[in-house]
Amino acid sequence: MDLLTALRAHRLLAIVRGSDPDAALKTVLTLVEEGVTLVEVSLSGRDALDVIARARAVLGPDATLGAGTVLTADDARAAHRAGAAFLVTPAVSDGIATGRELGLPVLAGVMTPTDILQALRLGAAALKLFPAGSAGGPGYLRDLRGPFPDLPFVPVGGVDASAAADYLRSGATAVGVGSPLIADAADGGSLAGLRERAREFLDVVGPESRP
């Protein structure tokens, strides 16, 4: 898949991390039903690989379903076997090179200019600015875009609806959103609330992001 094109088109990456595998699966499927096209299932969630495999079986081969918190080469291989179409790392890790060897695009976690150059050398398709809120928010993104004006940044970490709008105005290609969007849905909480929040974020990133 062309991850960068998908990020540019949809501008919202939902991050699902749950303690209840059945609820996490329902969360993924609900997000897709609401029009959230890009969904990442974090490997730090309970039985995450099984959640990815079950979601892939329901959604079919064309769904833009990925695996997050990919730290090692083994993580990348396991995610690939489970059916992930792309990988997301929290840092510059072995998962980047292995993902590329497997033919999977990688959204690589970076914070510093040095991280950015290392991730690009390893073949990252886009750059996950993490943790964006702690790093300085939209102002830090604007500072990075000085020396790196054309690189695709995806801020993640503390991105609520208001921050998402600020990041996009500051030049982010897309935003990655976890708990401000998912809340407790992947732990067994309300799917109705999840649907409302999904619509709110889709409105923020723009009608052009809807399928």
Distance CA 105, CA 125 (A): 6
Catalytic-role residue among 128, 196, 200, 208: 128
Whether 40 is a known active-site residue: answer: yes
What's the half-sphere exposure (Cβ side, CA atoms, 13 Å) at 5?
Answer: 3
Give me the helix-helix angle, 48-59 and 21-34, nearest 10°: 40
Q: Spot the catalytic one: 34, 40, 101, 208.
A: 40
Residue 26 catalytic?
Answer: no
State the Cα–Cα distance between residues 68 and 76, nearest whole angstrom. 9
Question: What CA–CA distance (Å, rounded) separates 94 from 70?
Answer: 9
Phi-psi region of 48 (alpha: psi -120 to 50; beta: other; left: phi over 0): alpha
Active site residues: 40, 128
